Amino acid sequence: MRFLLGVLVGYTLRGKQKLLIRFLVTLVLVVYVVLPAIALFGLRLDVQRERRSRPTQTKVPALKGLTYEAAEKKLHAANLNIRLLATRYDPTVQPGLIIDQTLAPGEEVVVGYSVGVTLNKKDFVGPGP
């Protein structure tokens, strides 16, 4: 670039070789303006195409403390599925409510993903006598 600009400035100061000056100005514009603009436009198109090819994502809602049916409705509203992973007894939580979920609330996942839940048992079945 320095060489082209040096030659261009030198010929311009002398006022000679007007055809060469026009050629050098055109060359500088093509090399440093037009070609980078074309490359950036191509890069923009590639980025847009890549973004469109990504699957749509959604955020996981908070499910703890909800009934299975309420959690199912909430997940379907967020375009997600529900999956019962386990049931366990927790005396501090009302029976029939969700006590745990596999994906944290607010986590972004692909639409249609299944969120696993753990449901509180209605009664405790302990070891026999």
Query: What is the domain-level CATH number for residue 102?
Result: 3.30.10.20
| DSSP letter, residue 98 | E
* In-domain check, residue 8: yes
* In-domain check, residue 88: yes
List Cβ neighbours of 98 (8 Å cut-off, separation of 6 or more): 63, 64, 65, 66, 67, 68, 71, 117, 118, 119, 120
Tokens of 93: 């939580």
Residue 12 pLDDT greater than 80, yes or no = no
Which of 53, 76, 91 lies at the terminal end of a domain, its last residue? 53
Mean pLDDT comparison of 2-6, 19-23, 53-57, 80-84, highest-scoring range: 80-84
Angle between helices 18-29 and 2-14 in degrees, nearest 10: 150
The pLDDT of residue 20: 75
Global pTM exceeds 0.85: no
Domain range for 24? 2-53
